[in-house]
Structure 1
Amino acid sequence: MKRDKPKYKQIIDAAVVVIAENGYHQAQVSKIAKQAGVADGTIYLYFKNKEDILISVFREKMGMFVGKIEEVIAGNRTAAEKLLVMIENHCKILSEDHHLAIVTQLELRQSNKDIRLKINEVLKGYLLVIDKILTEGIEAGEFTSDLDIRLARQMIFGTIDEMLTNWVMNEQKYDLSSQVPAIHKLLLNGCGFRN
């Protein structure tokens, strides 16, 4: 499988940097190859085209992200705690990788419909984690029993996403983690949290 090949991760990481610094449309495959330290032709052993690179970047990073979230929320935490840990980790991962933050919050938005559909497919794993937290919260009586999971998921994802986009647009001038408690409280209230 191509994902196990040694240069795959190298190219993915290089693509994040090149796309963040140049924008998706100006990020030529040759620039990605140079950043990765590979020949231009090597890229095509792993990816069909630049669009495939962008989708793969998102798939890899989101897969890693979802895996990390599932790992840290496993165990006997309450749904409210899991939601907090999820928000903290989302912010931590992007605040530690500014290039990735630019790619996920800005560059992925400018893409064509085909790319957006593929990105939505990748996002499903993350949205399922939110659904699971909400379902557990309802079952445990933490959240109101008539909570609309679909709407609550959109509220949670949309709020976190907008907070991160705003942070990127403001050139990461403030501490993202300082926003987490207020966001958490807001989202808990929106879910009808009963403490």
Structure 2
Amino acid sequence: MKRNKPKYKQIIDAAVVVIAENGYHQAQVSKIAKQAGVADGTIYLYFKNKEDILISLFREKMGQFVERIEEGIAGKQKAAEKLLVLIEYHCRHLSGNHHLAIVTQLELRQSNKDIRLKINKVLKGYLELIDKILINGVETKEFSEDLNIRLARQMIFGTLDEMGTTWVMNDQKYDLIVQAPAIHRLLLNAVGGKY
């Protein structure tokens, strides 16, 4: 399978850097190839076009991110603890990769409707993970029993997404990870949680 080949990962990582530094529209496939240290034609052995690179990049990085969160919450009993892990991982994920933060928070939003629909499909796994935590919190009576799961999920994701975007727009001048406990307290209050 293509995804397991080293050049696939090289190209994905190179695309993150090139798109972050040049913007999606100015990120030519030739620049990505040069950054990856491969011939232009090699890119087309793995990807159909630049759009395919962007979607694959997001799928790959989001998949790894969701897996890490699932591993992190596996040993936690309380939904509130799981929510904190999710928030901390979200902040750490963005803080840990300057270029990826720019791509996910800014460049993906400037893409066309077709790309955005594909990105939303990839995002589904992360949103379902938030749902699981919320449902768990309602079932264990940690969160309000009449909690609107869909609305709460949108609020949690929206808050984290906006925090990340603001942080990127401010040239990442402050420590995003330090914000996690305060974000957690605010979101817990919103879902009627007790810690």
The residue type equivalent to 2:137 in the other structure is G
2:82 equivalent in structure 1: 82
Equivalent in the alignment of 2:142 = 142
* Counterpart Cα distance in 2 of 1:93 and 1:160: 12
**What is residue 99 of structure 1 aligned with on the other side?**
99
Instruction: Tell me the residue number matched to 2:19.
Output: 19
Post-superposition offset of 1:4? 1.6
Unpaired segments ≥5 residues, structure 2: none
User: Is 2:168 aligned against 1:168?
Assistant: yes
Which stretches in structure 1 are left out of the alignment for 5+ residues? none
Query: In the TM superposition, what is the alpha-carbon distance from 1:77 to its structure 2 partner?
Result: 2.6
Contact 1:69 1:86 in 2 (8 A): yes
For residues 26-80 of structure 1, give each alpha carbon's deviation from its aligned partner in whole angstroms, at most 9, with x where no partner exists: 0000000000000000000000000000000000000000000000000243100
Q: CA deviation at 1:99?
A: 0.2
Equivalent residue number for residue 47 of structure 2? 47
Supply the distance in 1 between the matched residues of 2:66 and 2:48 (Cα, whole angstroms). Answer: 25
How far apart, CA to CA, are the structure 2 residues paired with 1:76 and 1:19? 37
Alpha carbons 2:142, 2:193 under 8 Å: kept: yes
Question: Does the Cα contact within 8 Å between 1:144 and 1:194 map onto a contact in 2?
Answer: no
- SS of the equivalent of 1:100 reads helix
Maintained 8 Å contact 1:141/1:194:
no
Q: Count the aligned residue pairs.
A: 195
d(CA) in 1 for partners of 2:75 and 2:6? 34
Structure-2 separation of matches of 1:2 and 1:97: 24
CA positional deviation for 1:194: 3.1
Equivalent position of 1:133 in the other structure: 133
Contact 2:2 2:46 in 1 (8 A): yes
Within 5 Å, which residues of 2 pair with 1:102-117? 102-117=102-117
> TM-score by structure 1 length?
0.98
State TM-score, norm by structure 2: 0.98
1:81, distance to aligned residue in structure 2 (A): 0.6
- d(CA) in 1 for partners of 2:18, 2:111: 16
Q: CA deviation at 1:93?
A: 1.4
Residue aligning to 1:123: 123
The RMSD of aligned alpha carbons is 0.7
Deviation at 1:181, TM superposition (A): 1.1
Identity %: 80
